[in-house]
A and B are shown apart, each in its own frame.
Chain A
Amino acid sequence: MLIRKPADIAPSEITNASLYRDRRMFLKHLAAGAAGMSGLTTLDAGAQQAADKIEQFTRSALSTKEKQNSLKEVTTYNNFYEFGTDKTDPAEFAHKLRTRPWTIAVEGEVAKPRTFAIEELLKFPLEERVYRLRCVEGWSMVIPWIGFELNKLVKLVEPTGNAKFVEFVSAVQPDTMHGVHMPVLPWPYFEGLRMDEAMHPLTILAVGLYGQILPKQNGAPVRLMVPWKYGFKSSKSIVKIRFVEQQPKISWERVAPHEYGFYSNVNPNVDHPRWSQATERRIGEFAKRKTLMFNGYGEHVASMYAGMDLKKFF
């Protein structure tokens, strides 16, 4: 009888992870090529989508009518550093994320601190919001999110007069997220908004996209979406929302304060120190587009920043 002993050497010590991934990508490409010819891939994807459908949601007048990026684009190319720093990493590794049970603790300067289970959040009246998303790296997409305005949740906990800012804390699951073992960012991922930004009707908590529950790589089961700010401001997989008096120091600001600021409003006139923010590549398009002030949401949000020097408060 053959008795298997655990190997003395972990596979990761023999093959470096990126080589391993490259090989898997290569194999996947081969497989995808073969399957594509026989029409197998679409069947599989179709079955998956049916299982995760969100049945009831309304459409919002705040949605853009621009051409939406495909589900494939939205789910195979994004940043979610907890699962690695390549933009294909979330799609490859986030399936490990445990999304049940899931709760969001809402606490701090509030009269009624409370913990919401994800099942309660899914019972909020949901609407579809098709928003532009502009990444600080210079690419953008148009994504049909499903969610509800953050202010609806905020009103339930009754913030006190001391609540000037809102902090968002994302999940850390050391066993499912290999990225949190890297000192790339301080973990957990930490974000924040000013109170008026958090209460703004454009600011939503998203629980789905494209009519289905939020894919894990996009920040399941619940994430923030603040469409006039660079993408990193919209925290994924949120576990805690805290109301505070002082402006919080967000994760990216802690590691590179000269490159990433608290506000991080999309602004074509304020460059990242290392690259221009004047243009962007909309995923799926060949030519670059001009980046719009506040990502095109200026008529809704510009008044919140009246009189502020946006070069200083970047």
Chain B
Amino acid sequence: MRPGEGALRRIKVVVFTVSLLPLARLLLGVPLDWLGVNPIELITRSTGTWTLVFLLATLAVTPIRHLSGWHWLIRLRRMLGLFAFFYATLHLITYLWLDQFFDPAAIVKDIIKRPFITIGFSAFVLMTPLAITSSNAMVRQLGGRQWQRLHRLVYAVAVCGLIHYWWLVKRDITQPAIYASVLALLLGARLVWRRRPTRPRAEVRAGRR
């Protein structure tokens, strides 16, 4: 499968629209009463969950390319990564505003004192340079190699985000364990491929011809 430029543009529009659905649900959910009796908690949870989902989707692009040979998927990766940052920003704003009411002393104390906040906040800090350097101009300015090295931070971001989730759960760790398994799979695949570099690309092409 190799879509042409026009088809790719349409795919991008679809992915973009779908990626906004979680936000649409929250925005519509307030007037339409979809969010239960503690909407602030639900908004906090939901934006956090979608940050993790988009992080995992971003990290899934490379393994899926390896397995399927759909190299055009790389053209969607930046958008997925930026949506992860988008939902992380909403998540952070929800915390700063609706949980702490922008009280600087309380926020600083919370970030220092609560390990799950410390690590979640660290994940956000590490994501910020990746979002800033996501444009084509920044890639050119940094140079491919350096840009790539910087963007390996995404692995640390995902691990920190996951620990943040794991540590905040009161007792039932089923959900974070599911996310952790997916992340382990995605990172594990990279390790395996690095050790035995296969070239599925070449095989696929050879097969087609």
Are A and B subunits of one complex? Answer: yes
Interface residues in chain A, defined as those with a beta carbon under 8 Å from any beta carbon in chain B: 18, 29, 32-33, 70, 72-73, 76-77, 81, 85, 87-88, 137, 139, 182, 184-185, 255-256, 274-276, 281, 283-284, 286-288
CB distance from A66 to the nearest CB of B (A): 17
Q: Annotate B108-143 by CB proximity to A: 1 below 8 A, 0 otherwise.
A: 001000111000000000000000000000000000
Contacts of B174 in A (CB 8 A): 85, 182
Decide if A274 touches B36 in the complex (CB within 8 Å).
no
Contact A77 B38 (CB under 8 A): yes
Residue from A29, A77, A182, A274 within 8 A of B114 (CB atoms): A274
- From 128 to 183 in chain B, residues with beta carbon under 8 angstroms from any chain A beta carbon are 167-168, 170-172, 174-175
Contact B37 A76 (CB under 8 A): yes
Residue contact A182 to B172, C-beta cutoff 8 Å: yes
A209 to B110, CA, bound (A): 37
The prevalent SS among residues of B at the interface is helix
Report the bound CA distance from A77 to B115 in whole Å: 27
CA distance A161 to B36 in the complex (A): 48
Taking CB atoms, residues of chain A closer than 8 Å to B172 are 81, 85, 182, 184
Binding site for A on B (CB under 8 A): 32-34, 36-38, 40-41, 98-99, 101, 110, 114-116, 167-168, 170-172, 174-175
Knowing A76-B37, A139-B41 touch, does A274 contact B167 (C-beta < 8 A)?
yes
How far is B99's CA from A70's CA once the two chains are assembled, in angstroms?
Answer: 23
The CA-CA distance from A139 to B172 in the complex, in Å, is 19
Q: How far is the CB of A85 from chain B (nearest CB, A)?
A: 4
> Most chain-B CB neighbours within 10 Å: which of A29, A76, A182?
A29
Q: A182-B172, A256-B171 are in contact. List 7 more A-B contacts (CB 8 A).
A: A85-B171, A87-B36, A87-B38, A139-B41, A184-B171, A184-B172, A286-B40
Residue of B nearest to A17 (CB): B174
Q: In the bound complex, how far is the Cα of B38 from the Cα of A73, in angstroms?
A: 9
C-alpha spacing A139/B37, complex, angstroms: 11
B161–chain A nearest beta-carbon distance, Å: 17
A275 to B98, CA, bound (A): 16
A281: contacting residue among B32, B36, B38, B114, CB under 8 A: B38
Please report the number of residue pairs spanning A and B whose Cβ atoms sit closer than 8 angstroms. 51
Q: For the complex formed, measure the closest distance between the CB of A233 and the CB atoms of chain B, giving whole angstroms.
A: 15
CB distance from A202 to the nearest CB of B (A): 26
Quick one: which of B36, B40, B101, B170 contacts A88, CB cutoff 8 A?
A: B36
Question: Closest residue to A288 on the B side, CB-wise?
Answer: B101
- The answer to whether B34 and A29 have CB atoms under 8 Å apart is yes
Judge whether A274 and B168 touch: CB under 8 Å.
yes
26 contacting pairs across A/B (C-beta < 8 A): A18-B175, A29-B32, A32-B33, A33-B32, A72-B37, A73-B37, A76-B36, A77-B38, A85-B171, A87-B38, A88-B36, A137-B170, A139-B38, A184-B171, A185-B171, A255-B171, A256-B171, A281-B38, A281-B41, A283-B37, A283-B38, A286-B40, A286-B98, A287-B101, A288-B99, A288-B101
Closest chain-A Cβ to B179's Cβ sits at a distance in Å of 12
Docked Cα-Cα span, A288 to B99, in Å, equals 8
Measured between C-beta atoms, what is the minimum distance from B117 to chain A in Å? 9
B37 touches A281 (CB 8 A): no
Establish whether residues B116 and A281, one from each chain, have CB atoms under 8 Å apart when the complex forms.
no
Q: How far is the CA of A283 from the CA of B37 in the complex (A)?
A: 7
Q: Which 5 A-B pairs have the closest CB atoms?
A: A85-B172, A73-B37, A77-B37, A184-B172, A29-B34
In the assembled complex, the Cα of A283 lies from the Cα of B36 at a distance in Å of 10
Shortest B18–chain A CB gap in Å is: 15
Closest to A256 in B: B171
Most buried by A among B37, B110, B171, B175: B37
Bound-state CA distance A174–B38 (Å) is 30
Residues of A within 8 A of B37 (CB): 70, 72-73, 76-77, 283-284
What's the nearest-Cβ distance from chain A to residue B193, in Å?
Answer: 29
* Bound CA–CA A88/B172 (angstroms): 15
Please determine whether A77 and B101 come into contact, CB atoms closer than 8 angstroms: no
Residue numbers in B under 8 Å from A287 (CB-CB) = 101
